[in-house]
Structure 1
């Protein structure tokens, strides 16, 4: 009914509305909607760039609202892979260096710490980017270093698909690699097609609404007002306030020349630690590096273990600060109790899905930080690398060290908090995935709004049924009559009332409801 699975060049569509036009629309949506601003990372200010998570949000929103992808299954992972294709096509490139890296990452990362900037300001007519802001693409091999292979190597040179003769087929190969199959809705007037895309504010509200609706199917949330506005963390409650503007003299190190934070080979433990350190204040990173440089006596495996101990102590001390606000603040305690009840009933899948929905209500930074921390906790809890303490198991020590940084609740015991934290840690690989049912519900709602329809009539979950005014009045009269009959029967038959008190109540009842009183007396006689 909805789609005809044929390639664009076989549909006989005239004009620019082809696969390359879809490609151009995606680039235009990204350039126009993503938030481009200055970002400070590790003693450096990067101008006119955007984060990887913001890019994925924009691309995912565009795919979900695009009618030509309506019949295709869309997910955040596919949106991230499409961003990878855009980066390989030199639409944008990574900015700055990551900790523990010698060179820029060629793999796109859906993260709030990964920074990117546009390369070609003239990819589309009327682009908001000016030619003066465009930076020339620099080859990563200019220093003689081997460039990493990319799965989109064969289409990496597409900066403007319209300049290539077989651009439609090239773009189609990219979309097929991502498993995105654009299709033509049947009965669509191709010549006059125009798509009305919703604003980012509306899209975010739809996500929040549908997330809450699905969360309410799993756990009980008596108060919803606290979820509507997510407050930002006060600056005064951070561990080191105003660290963004702090200038450290004589201790600053060049991240591109640092040897300690650019180890040649990294295991999963060090990778997880590096991801956590990305969010730390600059001065704390510098102090950690100086501490690692002080130990030059040991070599080999002993040195690596010593470095890991330093990194673990640094991360644990940072998150153990009493002034820090928990990543899962108190406003989520109702959902925590519901998730714990699901775990106690043996409903692990429902508990995981409720956790996924609950974490979608977090702000982007807290969500990203929690993802990194849980991944590091999972690595540190594994005893295969080394033991953190001689007398305490790694798992118990990790739970104790990071409990207050993740959640605090007065409604549940400390043991229950540790149980929930360990559950989140054990499922961290699946915890931040978006349920397919939520994506489908959001797409359906966005499509309804685009068509000007009533969202209430297309809701995924129905909690009540609308009735006419006449039906409402009939139900009201019937319910009131039944309640009055129950009341007079209670007065007549109750053994707790004295005869004097019963006669008085019956007299009052007859005065205010004579019709019900006569009906009751006639039924007795």
Structure 2
């Protein structure tokens, strides 16, 4: 079972790469032996039950899938293996999904079952998608003329020579080619800054590999970040796209069970009927909440769901969910809140006789949260992994990232204050306009354990040094108490105290000179002779 596996990092066709990885591990690690069936012996084969046992344990321990994989999901995966000729029965039959959890014998075929990785079409190909022009490429907008010194905000990295040139330009010339920022310009700023941050978090050379940017609507980003209620849930302008009243009432009933409504029915199994009503509604939607268009993007974020990258994964999902249509984001927020509350409610009766409440939540709603337009063999496993993480961290993931909101607003306000020339117009002196830098933010990187311990030690020592200074400067402490506390501090933290008072430390280390002993003359012993 200790098969060497690796994390499939973000990139194009990640689902196909995951399929090939699972196939490789299964073929390399599944124990094979000789079996007898119907008075015949079959070499190098295995039973369906043995394959389910082995594959289930492998998926549970694989960081690409996590601990929420069930045995039934493993059976479904083996059925897909049989359909795609990863395995075949001992008579060479395959192509159907009629595998059951029993002692039927199967074997590996001699042909390679790996799926080919499609090669992306070159940009110059006739059938390739033309890249949507980015607002970052519109240099004319991000360039502004120099202007009067008293009207200009000094930037940290601005060239002083450019400042001097601006002071010598006539005011009339400076104001001549100014244009007003349009709504489309602002929308492009929202879109491009958001995608820039997302690309940096994913570590991709280009988002084109995992996202068709034609499906990114900047109005969705603006709405999701600015139109929220006090609980952080998106509000909708068009109420026809909202959850129906009866669904919202059912979700509130389950989320606040049993304190929601005293007038609600109390017959046995009522909560199960309400739960089925909610799940039926979400599966009746035309597409999953994360949409078909963003499927590949969310599949790639799954590559970040590692213990050491949890914070990065949360930030990536935080940005990805901003791209959703507001109606889908609102439904996702309310669904995750309900699932989380039900999972943590100890008073909730069992909704399934054989499955725990948390497992039931994840596996019931995973299919209506993430799915591809074209059937994918690993859809169920990948959706389970993502929904489990979403439910555990929904408060952080589905909140508005304040750092991004401030960065966008500051950039827009800055561009409104400066003079924005018309595209293609240069400065009066013939020089190129000055370029406004896009706001760039760096993200934390992982450090080693030794570096962490060193930083922790430095932080604690700094806190102790501040405490020592407080003892020395506090005017509300009597001198007697001050000396007492300083003495205690010196005893507990001698190194910090010695750095603050080096002279006292050197004196304390001096060897104490004992006073000379008194010369005591020996008393002469009494003698008869004397």
The two structures share one fold, judged by TM-score above 0.5: no
The TM tier, using the shorter chain, reads 0.3 to 0.5
**Which TM-score applies when normalising by structure 1?**
0.36
Larger Rg: 2
